[in-house]
Chains A and B, each alone.
Chain A
Amino acid sequence: MNTKKIYSIGGLFDTPDGITKAAEDAVKEGYTKFDVNTPYPVHGMERAMNLKPSLLGFITLFVGLSGAAFAFLFMYWVSVMDYPLIIGGKPFFSWPAFVPVTFEVTVLSAAVGTVAVMIALVFKFPNNSHPLHDTNYMKNVSSDKFGLNVVYIDPLFDESKVKDFLSRAGANNIEVIYEPERKPLRVFDPKFIGLLVMLVLLTAGVTYFTLNKLLYMPPFTWMAVQDKLSSQSQNTMFADGYGMRNPVEGTVARGFTPYEFKGQPDSVVKNLSNPLPFTKENIDKGKLRFDTYCSPCHGYYGKGDSRLNGQFPNPPTLHSDKVKNWSDGNIYHVIVNGQNVMPSYAKQISKDDRWAIIHYIRVLQRSLNAKDSDLETKKQ
């Protein structure tokens, strides 16, 4: 005697019209838990079976939107937060570039998610097959026949009544389909779980090794780290070990004319006049440079009464007749060469700045030596 449990009773029909009619009859008989299997989609079948629209669409929508959100946020995290790179001069958060990938991931996750959920629901997870598989009924409906089977969960299910209904509806070849004997759930087999764990560890290990060791690239440091000697660092190339090198003897910088009377006595200076025009801008610049470089010793007004008084030999005043009668070239010569205790300022003060300072010195000299006639001029 057969002790296997009946899953359903199926009947085969020859034409799409026949199966549509049979489905309508099954609804009329009051069956609700029956299914129709056809080799191709038969239009109008859902209406004949009186089916409600499937809820699978909402699952697709949900999975698709999740995929879209995941793709977009992942790209945001990668290119804005974790590893920002400037690409094509565009901002880190360049959303138009994210759209194609977001679109692809949406379609992929919606499609894969729909199929996965459908299989899980139809096969009743964790089973991996359906009772109709490997039956004569399934062989026929996947080639040239149309099948209708009433499942045992239908409240009106009764073996002889269903067979009677199917033969009345015009089915030839009525078949009883039994539940397959299911082995204990293989999904929770320790061996299987062990294999899965091993696989996970192996994949993770290989991925980690590949990405972090084999393909490792130093992260982008915004050019903070470079293969060059920074100032003050040791140089192994030269015997003196200095990282900062002097230019070769006699080197002249581009756009720079060396001072022709360098190191020569005061008396040789001739025909050297101030090339800068006597304008407000130049005088302002001269004041700025004078206050920076000259005033520590010479004082803000060039009187030789600076704030270093007593700690350092004081220079003479710039308002003496000697300095007043000097040509601009003489003052220039002193700035470049130095005089007595004063060192050369050629390295600190650029050429234009020296001439600007000289203009300012002339202004100082004039302002501290006002004449009575100045007042007269003012009165007029």
Chain B
Amino acid sequence: MEYQKKELPEKVRTTGLLLAGAGLLLIIISYIVDPRREAFNNVIGLMFFASIAIGALVLVALEYLSGAVWSTPFRRVSEFIASSLPLLLVLAVPLFMMMGLVFHWAHEDVVSADKVLANKTAYLNIPFFIGRTIGIVLVLYLFYYLFTRNSRKQDETRDQRLTKTNVKLSAGFMPVAGIGLTFLAVDWMMSLEPHWFSTIFGIYYISATLLAGLAATTYASVSLNEAGYLHPGINKDHYYSLGALMFAITNFWAYIAFSQFLLIWYANIPEESIWFVMRWEGNWKYISVLLVLVRFIIPYAGLLSQPAKSDPKRLKWVSLFILGAHFLDLYWLIMPTYSKSIVFSFYEIGFPVFVIGLIIIVFYMQAKKHNLAPVGDPKLQRGLDFHL
């Protein structure tokens, strides 16, 4: 069976445009009505987008680095999702212009009256903050560019040495991605409470990032394969591996999240535990309990059995569910700084809809230009022959 390149239907682009348009409209209205609240939602939207795009790129590098073959038929899907990376800056620009709306430490008068914040100004200052975010996105995009350039060249030349080059690149990419994601998490989410600190926070976001990237890749791969756009050799064993990896990373997230909670709960130092107290007072308590349920228990139970991991229908709803849970997780991380009780209305909907629309449009444009299967990759045939 040979891979035949097919164009994605117009419907995909229309859906993407509709979602992005509706989202953008909601965002503009929200920014006019309540700029402060929408700025917080902008942070959620940015982190949501970053975790899907960067998570997909990490999966690409992970495949090269670990020498996995089962995921090679899906690699292009991850690459297309990761191609939306530079658009992160589009979401970040409104926040760069309105740092004071969200970040307590961005006010000079507050910092000068606060000794703790004054000592942190070497790190927490606006020019360095903006420089870090732009730098991280650009460096990650450079790696994306190199990975995909080699892979596309391979489609034509079938040069096996390009795989070797990409393996070396991924070895360099991994620490960069880990450090970059840690900086993004610390800058955009931990510094919302500039007095608070948790050394595990970066890994918490990295685990969530991997899960979001994988869930997006899984949903796109299973839907495209069912419609016949991927390589026809893909079978249930490939699905099983996607499901098993999602199951593993769900557990990894729970492990990290509980580790963070346990240490802070055990030591019970006011400057640390305040962060959990904020999320356990008033009706935020319900979101905290709900998060355990939707982020861990339901995906865990949904993917536990062997048949469930290879069932395409199950995989599709679980991956969408995980993306929803990821959004809830970010909402839980960011919004308690804005409000002492739960707030949810059209303000909160604009950004996720816009981000999903953007990713769909970018995916459609990439699929138009490039193959959906890396036909020149020497691992492709081995990947298609993969059996449990």
Q: Which residues of B contact A47 (CB under 8 A)?
A: 387
Residue A97, interface by CB 8 Å: yes
Residue B266, interface by CB 8 Å: yes
Q: Is the CB of B261 within 8 A of A96?
A: yes
Residue B199, interface by CB 8 Å: no
Instruction: List 9 A-B pairs, Cβ < 8 Å.
Output: A43-B387, A43-B388, A44-B387, A46-B388, A53-B307, A57-B306, A88-B266, A88-B268, A97-B266
Residue B197, interface by CB 8 Å: no
Q: Is the CB of B266 within 8 A of A44?
A: no
Q: Which residues of B contact A89 (CB under 8 A)?
A: 268
A89–B268 alpha-carbon span in the complex (Å): 10
Q: Which residues of A contact B146 (CB under 8 A)?
A: none
Q: Which residues of B contact A44 (CB under 8 A)?
A: 387-388
A53–B386 alpha-carbon span in the complex (Å): 18
Closest 10 CB pairs of A and B: A44-B387, A43-B387, A96-B265, A96-B262, A53-B306, A43-B388, A99-B258, A47-B387, A88-B268, A57-B306
Residue A100, interface by CB 8 Å: yes
> Which residues from 247 to 272 on chain B have a C-beta closer than 8 Å to any C-beta of chain A?
258, 261-262, 265-266, 268
> Which residues from 18 to 54 on chain A have a C-beta closer than 8 Å to any C-beta of chain B?
43-44, 46-47, 53
- The chain B residues found within 8 Å of chain A, CB to CB, are 258, 261-262, 265-266, 268, 305-307, 386-388
Q: Is the CB of A99 within 8 A of B262?
A: yes
Apart from A43-B386, A99-B258, what 19 extra A-B contacts exist at CB < 8 Å? A43-B388, A44-B387, A44-B388, A46-B388, A47-B387, A53-B306, A53-B307, A57-B305, A57-B306, A88-B266, A89-B268, A90-B268, A96-B262, A96-B265, A96-B266, A97-B262, A97-B266, A99-B262, A100-B262
A47–B262 alpha-carbon span in the complex (Å): 44
A338–B38 alpha-carbon span in the complex (Å): 81
Q: Which residues of B contact A90 (CB under 8 A)?
A: 268
> Which residues from 52 to 71 on chain A have a C-beta closer than 8 Å to any C-beta of chain B?
53, 57
Q: Which residues of B contact A53 (CB under 8 A)?
A: 306-307
1/0 per residue, CB under 8 A from B, across A77-118: the answer is: 000000000001110000011011000000000000000000
A353–B265 alpha-carbon span in the complex (Å): 49
Q: Which residues of A contact B268 (CB under 8 A)?
A: 88-90
> Which residues from 113 to 172 on chain A have a C-beta closer than 8 Å to any C-beta of chain B?
none
With both chains docked as a complex, state the minimum distance between the C-beta of A259 and any C-beta of chain B, in angstroms: 49
Using CB atoms, name the residue of chain A closest to B259: A100
Q: Which residues of B contact A99 (CB under 8 A)?
A: 258, 262
A131–B307 alpha-carbon span in the complex (Å): 33
A99–B307 alpha-carbon span in the complex (Å): 29
With both chains docked as a complex, state the minimum distance between the C-beta of A330 and any C-beta of chain B, in angstroms: 57
Using CB atoms, name the residue of chain B closest to A58: B305
Q: Which residues of A contact B306 (CB under 8 A)?
A: 53, 57
Using CB atoms, name the residue of chain A closest to B262: A96
With both chains docked as a complex, state the minimum distance between the C-beta of B276 and any C-beta of chain A, in angstroms: 11
Q: Which residues of A contact B386 (CB under 8 A)?
A: 43
Q: Which residues of B contact A96 (CB under 8 A)?
A: 261-262, 265-266
A304–B262 alpha-carbon span in the complex (Å): 71
Using CB atoms, name the residue of chain B closest to A43: B387
With both chains docked as a complex, state the minimum distance between the C-beta of A300 and any C-beta of chain B, in angstroms: 54
Q: Which residues of A contact B387 (CB under 8 A)?
A: 43-44, 47
Q: Which residues of B contact A43 (CB under 8 A)?
A: 386-388
Q: Which residues of B contact A100 (CB under 8 A)?
A: 262
A100–B265 alpha-carbon span in the complex (Å): 14
Q: Which residues of B contact A57 (CB under 8 A)?
A: 305-306
A53–B258 alpha-carbon span in the complex (Å): 33
Which residue of B262, B305, B387 has the most chain A CB atoms within 10 A of its CB atom? B387
Using CB atoms, name the residue of chain A closest to B258: A99
With both chains docked as a complex, state the minimum distance between the C-beta of A20 and any C-beta of chain B, in angstroms: 10
Q: Which residues of A contact B388 (CB under 8 A)?
A: 43-44, 46
A144–B144 alpha-carbon span in the complex (Å): 43
> Which residues from 310 to 359 on chain A have a C-beta closer than 8 Å to any C-beta of chain B?
none
Which residue of B268, B307, B388 has the most chain A CB atoms within 10 A of its CB atom? B388
With both chains docked as a complex, state the minimum distance between the C-beta of A68 and any C-beta of chain B, in angstroms: 14
Q: Which residues of B contact A88 (CB under 8 A)?
A: 266, 268
Q: Which residues of A contact B305 (CB under 8 A)?
A: 57
A57–B388 alpha-carbon span in the complex (Å): 16
With both chains docked as a complex, state the minimum distance between the C-beta of A52 and any C-beta of chain B, in angstroms: 11
1/0 per residue, CB under 8 A from B, across A348-379: the answer is: 00000000000000000000000000000000
A47–B310 alpha-carbon span in the complex (Å): 15
A222–B307 alpha-carbon span in the complex (Å): 56
With both chains docked as a complex, state the minimum distance between the C-beta of B256 and any C-beta of chain A, in angstroms: 13
Using CB atoms, name the residue of chain B closest to A53: B306
With both chains docked as a complex, state the minimum distance between the C-beta of B310 and any C-beta of chain A, in angstroms: 11
With both chains docked as a complex, state the minimum distance between the C-beta of A98 and any C-beta of chain B, in angstroms: 11
A100–B305 alpha-carbon span in the complex (Å): 24
A96–B386 alpha-carbon span in the complex (Å): 42
Using CB atoms, name the residue of chain B closest to A45: B387
With both chains docked as a complex, state the minimum distance between the C-beta of A62 and any C-beta of chain B, in angstroms: 13
Using CB atoms, name the residue of chain B closest to A48: B387
Q: Which residues of B contact A46 (CB under 8 A)?
A: 388
A132–B266 alpha-carbon span in the complex (Å): 54
